[in-house]
Every structure is written in structure tokens, then in C-alpha cells.
């Protein structure tokens, strides 16, 4: 049942966004998030919406995919909007008992909601058009200067990609262990939260034991294939900036500048 889960939410398509270098997309998303927090009036917000719409159109990913992530944050969105509407001090335009709605509250709630929605869909554009692997590659390459202050960037990136590879395997294994325990009468569904959490222990213990065994096997397999750290390694697919990336960077910077000026 776990075998067909695809990791991340990569959407296979042939588009301008897909062909951009993952570093461009990562930096772009970062700049976009900063711009969202700088944006302080309607004009700047509108620019951000337009910018995102263009990016979505260029990615050729159906818009419904973009907004799937919204469900997860619906509650947070509702709460923050609620708090902002009722708890912002200012001139009340409507009161009911202890609750009062202020003009300032409405304004900041609207901006916050806008920001959150744009933030989630903005990052979705990146994760939908970039494979988890190229994202780790991009992160490794962008964080490389940190090796000077002794941050093990290569090792962290390798750990991330190995984790990505083993998540489906460990999920399948969890499924197997659960079935094995269920066949022996284990009950994972009834009882309150504490009871159900406790019933997970007989799954977690064998899972961890097997994960450690796999880790030790994998380490030996990597050594057998001459792995000796990141130094002197070459790459099958080195990251390369193309003409599209230059354009994308210029557009990004222009956008941020526009938001600051507006």
C-alpha cells in the first residue's frame, strides 16, 4: 500500500519552470517570500499575485495542485485571520459584547491571509516543478560557502538524499511489521490516544533495529564503492545555469525592487 507514494509533490511536465536550474527556483522562492513580507500596500500585494499567476501559468501545473496544500493550513489561516480581526486595537467599526472589529484589524487580517496563501502556493510552484533530488543538489551547491566555517554541507546533502531514498523502504517495512503484529492479535485502532500511542511501541522497536542494520549495510556498500567524503567527487549531472536562469534572476530582482518601490 505504501509502494506507490511519490515523495515530495513533484508534478512531471515539460515547462519553462521545470527546465530552470533548481538553484534559481530555490533563490527565487526565497526572494519571493522576502518580497511578501516587505509588501505593505495593496499595489505591492497585487504585484505579488500577478507574479505568482505568471509563474503558475509558466509551470503548466494544474492550478488545483497548487491549492491542495491550502487544506493543511486552513485552520491556521482561520485562526490568524480571526485573531487579527478581533484583537487589533484601533477605531471600532462594529462591537458585540467584548468583541470589536476595527478597521485596522480588517486591513491587517486581509494582508496576512493574502501573505499566507501566496507563501504556500509560491513554495508549491517550486516543489511541484523540482524533484527532491535536484532540490538537495541545489541546497548543497548554494550552501557550499558554509564549508569554510566547518559546516558539513556535502554530508548533510547526502544524508538528505539517502533519507529520501529510504523513506519508501521504511514505510513498506512499517506496513509489514504492522501486519505481522496484527496477525498476532495486536490492536492499533481502538482505545484513546495514549493507548494507541503505546501500541505503536512493538512497531517502532523492530523498525529501528532494522533501520540501524540497513544503515550499517549501506555504509559498508558505500565504502566498497570507494566513497571517502565529498572531496574530489565529480558529478553525473553537475548544475549548470542556462540563459533562462539569467532571465529568471533579472525578473526576480526587478520584482523585488518593484515591491520595495510601490
Q: By the criterion CB under 8 A, which residues form the site for another protein?
A: 3, 132-133, 161-162, 164-165, 168-169, 213-214, 217-218, 220-228, 232-238
What minimum distance in Å lies between the beta carbon of 9 and another protein? Answer: 15
The distance from CA 238 to its chain's CA centroid, rounded to whole angstroms, is 23
73 versus 211: smaller Cβ distance to another protein: 211
What minimum distance in Å lies between the beta carbon of 114 and another protein? Answer: 36
Quote the Cα angle for 28-244-30, to 5°. Answer: 5
What minimum distance in Å lies between the beta carbon of 217 and another protein? Answer: 4
> What span, in angstroms and rounded, lies between the C-alpha atoms of 187 and 178?
10
149 versus 236: smaller Cβ distance to another protein: 236
> What span, in angstroms and rounded, lies between the C-alpha atoms of 6 and 173?
16
Of 114, 17, 109, give the one whose Cα is nearest residue 65.
17
Distances 239 to 55, 163, 236, 253 between C-alpha atoms, Å: 22, 21, 10, 21
> What span, in angstroms and rounded, lies between the C-alpha atoms of 138 and 144?
10
What minimum distance in Å lies between the beta carbon of 219 and another protein? Answer: 10
195 versus 233: smaller Cβ distance to another protein: 233
Cell of 184: 498476532
Q: Which single residue is written with the C-alpha cell 564503492?
A: 225
Cell of 171: 514505510
What minimum distance in Å lies between the beta carbon of 64 and another protein? Answer: 25
CA dihedral 62, 64, 68, 70 (to 10 degrees): 120
Q: How many residues does the chain have?
A: 262
123 versus 210: smaller Cβ distance to another protein: 210
Cell of 110: 486581509
Q: 222 - beta bridge partners?
A: none
85 versus 173: smaller Cβ distance to another protein: 173
What minimum distance in Å lies between the beta carbon of 11 and another protein? Answer: 16
190 versus 234: smaller Cβ distance to another protein: 234
173 versus 245: smaller Cβ distance to another protein: 173
Q: Which single residue is written with the C-alpha cell 522562492?
A: 29
What minimum distance in Å lies between the beta carbon of 62 and another protein? Answer: 23
Amino acid at each position: 500500500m505504501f509502494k506507490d507514494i511519490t515523495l515530495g509533490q513533484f508534478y512531471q511536465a515539460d515547462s519553462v519552470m521545470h527546465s530552470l536550474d533548481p538553484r534559481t527556483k530555490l533563490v527565487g522562492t526565497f526572494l519571493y517570500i522576502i518580497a511578501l513580507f516587505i509588501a505593505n500596500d495593496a499595489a505591492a500585494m497585487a504585484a505579488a499575485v500577478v507574479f505568482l499567476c505568471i509563474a503558475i501559468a509558466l509551470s503548466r501545473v494544474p492550478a488545483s495542485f497548487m491549492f491542495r496544500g491550502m487544506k493543511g493550513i486552513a485552520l491556521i489561516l482561520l485562526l490568524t485571520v480571526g485573531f487579527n480581526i478581533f484583537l487589533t486595537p484601533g477605531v471600532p467599526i462594529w462591537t458585540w459584547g467584548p468583541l470589536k472589529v476595527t478597521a485596522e484589524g480588517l486591513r491587517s487580517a486581509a494582508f496576512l491571509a493574502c501573505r499566507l496563501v501566496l507563501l504556500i502556493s509560491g513554495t508549491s510552484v517550486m516543489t511541484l516543478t523540482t524533484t527532491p533530488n535536484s532540490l538537495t543538489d541545489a541546497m548543497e551547491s548554494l550552501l557550499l560557502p558554509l564549508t569554510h566555517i566547518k559546516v558539513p554541507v556535502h554530508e548533510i546533502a547526502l544524508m538528505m538524499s539517502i533519507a529520501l531514498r529510504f523513506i519508501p523502504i521504511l514505510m513498506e517495512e512499517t506496513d509489514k511489521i504492522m501486519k505481522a503484529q496484527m496477525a498476532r492479535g495486536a490492536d492499533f485502532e481502538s482505545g484513546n490516544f495514549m493507548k494507541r500511542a503505546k501500541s505503536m511501541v512493538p512497531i517502532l522497536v523492530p523498525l529501528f533495529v532494522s533501520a540501524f542494520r540497513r544503515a550499517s549495510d549501506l555504509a559498508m556498500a558505500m565504502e566498497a564503492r570507494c566513497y571517502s567524503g565529498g572531496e574530489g567527487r565529480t558529478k553525473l549531472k553537475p548544475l549548470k545555469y542556462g540563459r533562462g536562469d539569467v532571465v529568471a534572476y533579472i525578473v526576480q530582482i526587478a520584482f523585488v525592487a518593484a515591491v520595495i518601490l510601490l
